[in-house]
Amino acid sequence: MIAFFQNIVGSVLNNFIIVIIATLMALFIDFLFPTFSKWTRMFLLFIVITIVLQPAFEHLVLIQKIAHSISMTFLSIYPVLTAAMIASGGAFGMLNFQPAMLLFANGAVFLTERLLIPLLTAAIVLDLASRLLPEVSFSKMSDLIRTTLLGLVSALVTAYSIFITTGGTMSWAMSGFASEPIKELVRQNVPFIGSFMTESLGAIGKYSSGAAIFAGGWLITSIWTIALVPTLKTLFTAFLYRWTAALIEPFADEDITGVLDDIGKTLFVLCAVSFLIAFALIYTALFTVILVKLITTMK
Amino acid sequence: MRGNDGIFLSGVVLITILSATILLVVPDDVADELIPIVKLAMGIWILRSLLNFFGHSL
**A95-99, A125-129, A199-203, A273-277, range with greatest mean pLDDT:** A125-129
* pLDDT tens-place string over residues A26-69: 888 989 988 888 888 888 888 888 888 888 888 888 888 888 88
Three-class SS state of A182: helix
| A112 confidence band (pLDDT: 50, 70, 90) | confident
Q: Taking residues A160-178, report their average pLDDT.
A: 49
Domain boundary assignment for chain B: 2-57
- Chain B residues close to A37, C-beta within 8 Å: none
Three-class SS state of A96: coil
Q: Do B39 and A42 lie within an 8 Å CB cutoff?
A: no
| A177 confidence band (pLDDT: 50, 70, 90) | very low
- Chain B residues close to A114, C-beta within 8 Å: 2
| A175 confidence band (pLDDT: 50, 70, 90) | very low
Interface of B with A (CB under 8 A): 2, 5, 9, 12-13, 15-17, 19-20, 23-24, 35, 38-39, 42
From residue A248, give the alpha-carbon distance in Å to each of A56, A107, A256, A267, B51. 19, 42, 9, 19, 42
Is pLDDT of B58 > 80? no
SS (H, E, C) A183-238: HHHHHHHCCCCHHHHHHHHHHHHHHHHHHHHHHCHHHHHHHHHHHHHHHHHHHHHH
pTM: predicted TM-score of the whole model, two decimal places: 0.80
* pLDDT at residue B40, as a whole number: 92
CA distance A16 to A37: 23
Q: List the one residue out of A196, A133, A130, A117 whose CA is nearest residue A161.
A: A196
CA distance A56 to B36: 33
Tell me which of A213 and A32 has the higher pLDDT.
A32
Q: Do A132 and B16 lie within an 8 Å CB cutoff?
A: yes
Q: Taking residues A240-263, report their average pLDDT.
A: 87
Instruction: Report the gap between the CA of B52 and the closest CA in chain A (Å).
Output: 18
The phi and psi torsions of B13 (rounded to 5 degrees) equal: -65, -40
Is pLDDT of B50 > 90? no
From residue A89, give the alpha-carbon distance in Å to each of A135, A167, A195. 65, 18, 40
Percent of chain A with pLDDT over 70: 75
**Maximum alpha-carbon separation in chain B:** 45
Q: List the one residue out of A211, A230, A226, A222 whose CA is nearest residue A272.
A: A230
Answer yes or no: is the ipTM higher than 0.90.
no
CA distance B22 to B27: 10
Which of A42, A122, A136 lies nearest to residue B24, judging by beta carbons? A42
